[in-house]
């Protein structure tokens, strides 16, 4: 019998499906293990060979855990809302729901071929009303909550209302957009509308006028993580700043917990570091500066309180509310012109343009420590959204302030002993402080920092300003609230209606609020979002929200829904949540480091505060799979001809490299006939060959259609089978490393499976015997068990595949086909190559499924070696080896080595200075 993978794979895939082998149920008798893949956005292009990499890795782990006796939850679904389907709808009129379900069907077909152990009964799609009902529900809970900074958790807004009516803002410590102060009497006197407006300032889901990333080409607002270098991540369209009324989530309230939580989870250091940087905690001080000759003061934020004696000017962000107050009459025109010019520029232009710009406001601030009057400038290098939107500029010790001071000829006062600021600023937080205050400018009882280190000076200044009421210690975060409105059609509708211009939540009993049908997927003539086209988009006569939710809405809690996907009473039942708890192993790409992986953690923490979920962190362990790059092939056309020259001859001609479809190239040799048929342009192509072959050039590039280097897993499965694909993807290299896909090596793993098969069948004869295995055979088996177990636990799957190859090669060399060795081997292999393993498991006489076998355990007794091959080295260089008994003493090894003829030859008369014997390892003779 031949290894006929097609037959085997179809047979067992059908068997698994019919017998619900991968159905997961709550079972308190067994420990749970939850393995999750980042669910895909079903794009029209289908899966390429890079996508399943992580899925195969998680599948192996799921199957391994099951063999180890765990009750494994391993679900899959689709992140079904998204821009591409909508853009396609605009172009073709095809409803995004239609495109999406077609794409999903295609994805499913491709996934099914690979033999994953997903429990498909738990499939979710974010665009299904049954699913997004709970996305809307969570939004309502966020609207009805505020974040209490004293209790460090979300609390009901009703508690806030109660507090306001009893004591106003007195004693309030809540996360908010703006610090407000009012009394109970003032609150109670306010109208419903005014009160609602104030509450928005505290709600976790809130509506506010914000400076947002507006992308005109997409016609929508984008979140910070959806914009990179001034253009949209999707499509690369320019993004500009615009103030708009938008829904936002107060993610910033959770900044500290998001930061601290990182210490409790098992993620890679680099990913944690990325999140830490994104959260961007910085400890500093807020300090108030009075405005000279005015009854005004404003607050700045600094992490370098120690440099307050070196402040030579102040800078406001152009968007700051203070600009209006501080601009004097004679500077008004200049300031307005500057602000107008700044507004016109897109984010991208501002980033690209490194030129210093700014304008003097006309006002002066007073340094509270020196009483010096210092000019207040306005410049776009200060951001409105960070800190207070105002800074004290210390050009000697901040490079941006330095550039500004140089440009506008402002004074630079160095504050560190011996630092040279003639060419650049001294930004390092080290050295001894001087000039603080300057000699002769000391004040009685004033702050003196001279002689201290920077660190000491910062601490002393903070203490001083707090005591004197000049400011306070403050922690700032770079993390911004997440803008949650999108002016698009294909997303979750907000469960929101408007009454008197104020937002209200629709009743939970009316959920889900379904996405309405519209005639065209474009904004209305009035520039409203597409939902403005929906008929009767209102509730009880009140208009509904026209924006929809962003892509990350549906992916923020999907891992919870898998625990209890059909529940229509709750997002997840307490029973299911308390059993499955959180994701034990999450596998996905690093590209979600600052988006999905922050939002999910936030969302989960919020639900944790509500008592809906029992674990504060959603993903205990996370592994990033590397990207699979493409390996492109090139042909070389001689310029202005239709003649192509083989790689090693191309230097003799003037050629243009042209991408050629990798699917018509094998081992870099071009199939010339297929090439002629590939494109009509090449029908009459001529070739200059070498050794009768056309050899292509190659390069590693992104896998994409335009490079003609896309490899479809379906084709691989068709030609070699799913088990070969699975093994080969793992064999390519460490899971977390990026590497190019090169189909060339695949024959190796396919040969391995054929050789494994040959241990069972010789021709049509089944040759497995029940004979007792020899010590040698048992050693081969147990060595493999040990290695595979270790490798799976450490996600080193590439070396596991090698270990299987070594094992089979060794058994093959011994012509060994014994049940007692092959059966454990088949079980070991089952997580990697489940189809062939299932077939062989049954051939060995087993019933049921190999998925429920018991993972073999290594018996070290079989691994004991009687002898050790000692490498004998001289001055670190190995010259020969000696085979000695394993239990030989150190002294005896030394004596044996020294008395050897070859040793005498190597020493050549010299006396050894030192002999190092590492028992069981090596001997090194130094002379």
Sign of CA dihedral 227, 229, 234, 239: positive
Q: Which is nearer to RNA, 198 or 749 (CB)?
A: 749
| CB nearer RNA, residue 120 or residue 812 | 812
- How far apart are the C-alpha atoms of 873 and 925, rounded to whole Å? 6
Angle, vertex CA 395, rays to CA 389 and CA 401, nearest 5: 40
Instruction: Supply φ then ψ for residue 451, to 5 degrees.
Output: 90, -15
Three-state helix/strand/coil letters over 865-895: CCEEEEEEEECCEEEEEEEEECCCCHHHHHH
Query: In angstroms, what is the minimal distance from the CB of 280 to RNA?
Result: 5
| Smallest separation (angstroms) from RNA to the CB of 242 | 16
The answer to whether the CB of 778 falls within 8 A of the CB of 821 is yes
Select 344 or 354, whichever has its Cβ closest to RNA.
354
Q: Cβ of residue 127: shortest distance to RNA, in angstroms?
A: 26
What is the smallest separation between the CB atom of 756 and RNA, expressed in angstroms?
A: 10
The answer to whether the CB of 589 falls within 8 A of the CB of 625 is: yes
User: β-pairing, 761-762 with 765-766?
Assistant: antiparallel
User: How many Å apart are CA 70 and CA 62, to the nearest integer?
Assistant: 9
Q: Which is nearer to RNA, 305 or 547 (CB)?
A: 305
Output 347 or 616, the one with its CB closest to RNA.
347
Q: Give me the least distance between CB of 200 and RNA, in Å please.
A: 23
What end-to-end distance do the CA atoms of the chain give, in Å?
A: 62
From the CB of 422, what's the least distance to RNA, in Å? 19
Q: Is 501 or 692 the residue whose CB approaches RNA more closely? A: 692
CB of 36 to RNA, least distance (A): 22
Q: Which is nearer to RNA, 270 or 648 (CB)?
A: 270
Q: What whole-number distance in Å separates Cα of residue 370 and Cα of residue 441? A: 8
At a CB cut-off of 8 Å and minimum separation 6, what does 650 contact? 636, 697
Q: Which is nearer to RNA, 197 or 879 (CB)?
A: 879
Of the two residues 115 and 318, which places its CB atom closer to RNA in the complex? 318
Dist. CA 549–CA 335, nearest whole Å: 38
Least Cα distance to 106 among 48, 52, 176, 44 occurs for: 44
Which is nearer to RNA, 445 or 763 (by Cβ)?
Answer: 763
Q: Which is nearer to RNA, 610 or 699 (CB)?
A: 699
Kindly state the DSSP code that residue 481 receives in the 8-state scheme.
P
Least distance to RNA from the beta carbon of 366, Å? 19
Closest CA to 118 of 37, 49, 43: 37
As measured in angstroms, the least distance from the Cβ of 702 to RNA is: 8
Tokens of 307: 């440099």
Listed in sequence order, the DSSP H helices in 251-354 are 255-261, 269-279, 322-326, 332-344, 347-352
The label of the residue with tokens 């241990």 reads: 759
CB 550 within 8 A of CB 567: no
Give min distance, CB of 259 to RNA, in A.
14
CB closer to RNA out of 368 and 389: 389
Bond preceding residue 526 cis, omega within 30 of 0:
no
The DSSP bridge partners found for residue 912 are none
Strand partners, 643: 686
- CB 383, min distance to RNA, A: 4
In this structure, what are the phi and psi dihedrals at residue 453, rounded to the nearest 5 degrees?
-80, 165
If the CB atoms of residues 191 and 908 are measured against RNA, the closer one turns out to be: 908
CB 626 within 8 A of CB 642: no
Q: Which of 110, 82, 77 is nearest to 96 (CA)?
A: 82
Q: How far is the CB of 732 from RNA (least distance, A)?
A: 5
Write out the two tokens for 89: 């709808």
Minimal distance, residue 810 CB to RNA, in Å: 9
Q: What gap in Å lies between CA 529 and CA 526, rounded to an integer?
A: 9
């Amino acid at each position: 019998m031949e290894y006929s993978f097609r037959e085997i794979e179809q047979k067992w895939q059908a068997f698994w499906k019919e017998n619900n082998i991968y159905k997961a149920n709550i079972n308190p008798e067994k420990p749970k293990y939850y393995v999750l893949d980042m669910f895909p956005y079903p794009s029209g292009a289908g899966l390429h060979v890079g996508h399943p990499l992580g899925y195969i890795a998680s599948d192996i782990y799921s199957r391994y855990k099951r063999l180890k006796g765990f009750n494994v939850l391993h679900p899959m679904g689709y992140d079904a809302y998204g821009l591409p389907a909508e853009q396609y709808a605009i172009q073709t009129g095809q409803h995004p729901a239609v495109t999406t379900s077609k794409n999903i069907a295609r994805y499913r077909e491709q996934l099914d071929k690979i033999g994953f152990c997903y429990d498909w009964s738990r499939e979710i799609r974010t665009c299904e009303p049954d699913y997004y009902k709970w996305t809307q529900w969570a939004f309502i809970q966020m609207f009805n909550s505020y974040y209490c900074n004293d209790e460090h958790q979300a609390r009901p807004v009703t508690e806030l209302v109660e507090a306001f009516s009893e004591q106003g803002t007195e004693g309030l410590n809540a996360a908010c957009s703006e610090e407000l102060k009012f009394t109970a009497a003032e609150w109670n006197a306010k109208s419903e509308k005014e009160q609602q407006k104030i509450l928005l300032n505290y709600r976790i889901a809130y509506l506010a006028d914000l400076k947002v990333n507006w992308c005109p080409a997409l016609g929508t607002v984008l979140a910070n993580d959806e914009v990179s270098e001034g253009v949209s991540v999707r499509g690369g369209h320019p993004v500009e700043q615009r103030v708009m009324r938008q829904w936002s989530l107060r993610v910033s309230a959770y900044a500290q917990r998001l930061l601290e939580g990182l210490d409790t989870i098992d993620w890679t250091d680099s990913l944690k570091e990325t999140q830490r940087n994104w959260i961007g905690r910085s400890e500093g001080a807020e300090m108030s500066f009075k405005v000279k000759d005015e009854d005004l003061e404003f607050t700045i934020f600094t992490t370098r309180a120690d440099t307050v004696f070196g402040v030579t000017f102040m800078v406001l962000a152009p968007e700051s509310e203070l600009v209006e107050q501080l601009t004097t009459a004679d500077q008004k025109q200049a300031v307005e012109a500057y602000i107008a010019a700044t507004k016109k520029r897109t984010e991208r232009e501002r980033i690209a343009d490194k030129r210093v710009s700014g304008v003097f406001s006309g006002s002066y601030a007073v340094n509270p420590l020196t009483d010096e009057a210092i000019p207040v400038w306005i410049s776009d290098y200060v951001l409105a959204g960070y800190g207070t939107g105002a800074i004290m500029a210390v050009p000697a010790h901040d490079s941006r302030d330095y550039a500004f001071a140089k440009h506008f000829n402002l004074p630079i006062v160095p504050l560190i002993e011996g630092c040279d600021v003639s060419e650049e600023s001294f930004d390092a937080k080290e050295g001894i402080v001087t000039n603080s205050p300057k000699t002769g400018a000391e004040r009685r009882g004033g702050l003196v920092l001279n002689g201290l280190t920077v660190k000491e000076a910062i601490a002393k200044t903070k203490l001083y300003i707090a005591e004197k009421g000049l400011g306070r210690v403050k922690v700032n975060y770079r993390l911004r609230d997440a803008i949650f409105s999108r002016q698009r059609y294909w997303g979750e509708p907000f469960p929101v209606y408007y009454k008197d211009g104020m937002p209200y939540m629709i009743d939970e009993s009316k959920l889900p609020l379904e996405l309405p049908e519209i005639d065209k997927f474009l904004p209305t003539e009035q520039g409203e979002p597409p939902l403005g086209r929906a008929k009767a988009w209102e509730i009880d006569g009140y208009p509904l929200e026209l924006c929809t939710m962003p892509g990350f809405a549906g992916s923020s809690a999907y891992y919870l829904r898998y625990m209890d996907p059909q529940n229509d009473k709750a997002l997840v039942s307490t029973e299911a949540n308390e059993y499955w708890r959180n994701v034990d192993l999450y596998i996905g790409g690093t590209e979600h480091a600052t988006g999905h992986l922050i939002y999910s953690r936030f969302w989960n923490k919020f639900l944790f505060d509500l008592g809906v979920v029992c674990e504060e962190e959603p993903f205990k362990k996370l592994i990033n799979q590397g990207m699979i790059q493409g390996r492109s092939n090139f042909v070389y056309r001689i310029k202005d001809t239709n003649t192509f020259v083989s790689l090693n001859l191309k230097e003799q001609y003037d050629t243009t490299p042209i991408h050629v479809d990798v699917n018509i190239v094998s081992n870099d040799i071009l199939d010339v006939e297929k090439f002629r048929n590939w494109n009509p342009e090449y029908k009459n192509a001529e070739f200059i060959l070498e050794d009768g072959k056309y050899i292509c050039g190659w390069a590693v590039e992104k896998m994409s259609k335009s490079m003609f280097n896309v490899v479809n897993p379906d084709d691989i499965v068709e030609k070699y089978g799913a088990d070969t694909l699975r093994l080969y993807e793992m064999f390519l290299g460490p899971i977390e490393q990026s590497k190019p896909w090169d189909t060339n090596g695949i024959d190796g793993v396919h040969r391995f499976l054929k050789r494994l098969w040959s241990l069972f069948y010789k021709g049509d004869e089944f040759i497995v015997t029940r004979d007792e295995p020899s010590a040698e055979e048992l050693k081969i088996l147990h060595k493999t068990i040990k290695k595979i177990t270790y490798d799976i636990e450490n996600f080193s799957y590439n070396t596991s595949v090698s270990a299987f190859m070594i094992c089979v090669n060794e058994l093959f060399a011994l012509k060994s086909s014994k049940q007692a060795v092959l059966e454990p081997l088949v079980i070991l292999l089952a997580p990697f190559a489940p189809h062939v393993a299932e077939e062989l498991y049954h051939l060995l006489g087993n019933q049921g499924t190999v998925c429920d076998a018991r993972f073999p355990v290594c018996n070290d007794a079989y691994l004991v070696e009687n002898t050790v091959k000692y490498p004998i080295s001289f001055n670190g260089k190995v010259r020969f080896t000696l085979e000695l008994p394993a239990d030989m003493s150190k002294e005896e090894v030394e004596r044996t080595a020294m008395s050897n003829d070859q040793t005498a030859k190597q020493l050549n008369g010299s006396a050894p200075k030192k002999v190092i014997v590492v028992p069981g390892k090596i001997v090194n003779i130094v002379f």
